[in-house]
Amino acid sequence: MTQTVLITGANRGIGKALAEKCAQNGMFVIVVSRNLEKAKPVFNDILSHGGKAILKKCDVSNLSDIEILGKEIKQEFKSLDILINCAAINTDTDDTSIENMPVDLLHDTMQTNFFGSVWMCKEFIPLLKKSESGRIINFSSGLGQLGVPRMGPFPAYSMSKTAVNALTKVLADEVKDSSIIVTSVDPGWVATDMGGPNAMLTIAEGIDTPYWLATAPASDLQSGCFYKERKILDW
Ligand SMILES: NC(=O)c1ccc[n+]([C@@H]2O[C@H](COP(=O)([O-])OP(=O)(O)OC[C@H]3O[C@@H](n4cnc5c(N)ncnc54)[C@H](OP(=O)(O)O)[C@@H]3O)[C@@H](O)[C@H]2O)c1
Q: What was the pLDDT predicted at 152?
A: 67
Q: How far apart are CA 162 and CA 141, in angstroms?
A: 8
For atom 46 of ligand 1, the residue with the nearest CA is 88
Q: Whose CA is nearest to atom 24 of ligand 1?
A: 87
Sheet holding 52-57, edge to edge: 52-57, 28-33, 4-7, 82-85, 135-139, 181-185, 225-228, 231-233
Total count of domains within the chain: 1
Contacts for 139 with CB less than 8 Å, ≥ 6 apart = 14, 84, 85, 86, 88, 117, 164, 184, 185, 187, 210
Q: How far is the CA of 8 from the centre of ligand 1 (A)?
A: 9
Give the predicted TM-score (pTM) of the model: 0.98
CATH classification at residue 57: 3.40.50.720
Identify whether 157 is a catalytic site residue: yes
69: helix, strand or coil = helix
Where in the sequence is the domain holding 112, given as residue range(s)?
A: 4-233
Residues 121, 184: contact at Cβ < 8 Å?
A: no
For the chain, give the mean pLDDT.
Answer: 97
Side chain identity, residue 167: L
Digit-coded pLDDT (tens) for 101-110: 999 999 999 9
Tell me the average pLDDT across 225-235. Answer: 97
pLDDT tens, 123-175? Answer: 999 999 999 999 999 999 999 999 887 666 899 999 999 999 999 999 999 99
Give which of 87, 79, 84 is closest to 4, Cα–Cα: 79
